[in-house]
Amino acid sequence: MAPHNPAQVRGAALLADPLLNKGTAFSSDERAELGLDGLLPPATETLAEQTDRAYEAFLGYDKPLNRHIYLRQLQDTNEVLFYGLLTRHLEEMLPVVYTPTVGEACRRFSEIYRRPRGLFLTYEDRHRYREILRNRPGGEVDVIVVTDGQRILGLGDQGVGGMGIPIGKLSLYTAIGGIHPARTLPILLDVGTDNEQLLKNEHYLGRRQHRVTGDAYDEMIEAFVSAVEAELPGTLLQWEDFATAHARPILSRYQDRLLTFNDDIQGTAAVALGALTTATKVAGASLTDHRIVVLGAGSAAIGVADMIRTALVEEGLSEEEAADRFWFVDIDGLLVDSRTDLTPEQRVYARDEADLRQWGGDAPDLARVVGEVKPTVLIGLSTAHGAFTEEIVRTMADSCDRPVILPLSNPTSNAEADPADLARWTDGRALIAAGSPFPPLEVDGREVPVAQANNVYVFPAVGLAVTACRARRVTDRMMVAAARAVGDCAVRAGTDGATQLLPPLASMRDAAREIALAVAQAAVEDGVAPEATESELRDAIAEAQWTPRYTA
Phi and psi, residue 150, nearest 5°: -85, -30
Sign of CA dihedral 272, 274, 278, 281: positive
- Kindly state the helix (H) or strand (E) to which residue 262 belongs, with its residue range: strand 260-262
Which parts are annotated binding residues for a divalent metal cation? Answer: 240-241, 264
Annotated active-site residue in 83, 98, 123, 204: 98
φ, ψ dihedrals at 443, nearest 5°: -125, 115
Q: Is 374 a catalytic residue?
A: no
- The catalytic position among 83, 123, 129, 169 is 169
206 contacts 198 by C-beta, under 8 angstroms: yes
Phi-psi region of 324 (alpha: psi -120 to 50; beta: other; left: phi over 0): alpha
Residues in the chain, overall count? 552
- 351: β partners: 336
DSSP-assigned states of every residue in 217-259 = HHHHHHHHHHHHHHHSTT-EEEE-S--HHHHHHHHHHHTTTSS
Cβ(476)–Cβ(513) below 8 Å:
no
- 282 Cβ partners below 8 Å, 6+ apart? 402, 431, 497, 501
- Quick one: which H or E segment has residue 431? strand 431-434
CA torsion 360-364-370-371 (nearest 10°) is: -20
- Report which DSSP code applies to 449: P
Beta strands at 404-407 and 377-380: parallel, antiparallel or unpaired: parallel
The answer for residues whose C-beta is within 8 angstroms of residue 296's C-beta and 6 or more apart is 329, 330, 380, 381, 382, 383, 384, 409
* Binding site, annotated residues: 151, 240-241, 264, 410, 454
Q: Where are the alpha helices (DSSP H) in 25-112?
A: 28-33, 47-59, 64-77, 79-88, 90-97, 101-107, 109-112
- In 3-state terms, what secondary structure has residue 433? strand
- C-alpha distances out from residue 516 to 110, 132, 275, 451, 521, Å: 36, 32, 17, 21, 9
Q: How far is CA 262 from CA 149, 265, 303, 478, in A?
A: 14, 5, 10, 13
SS3 73: helix
Neighbours of 209 (CB within 10 A): 15
98 is a catalytic site residue: yes
Annotated binding-site positions for (S)-malate: 151, 410, 454
Single-letter residue type at 327: W
Active site residue ranges: 98, 169
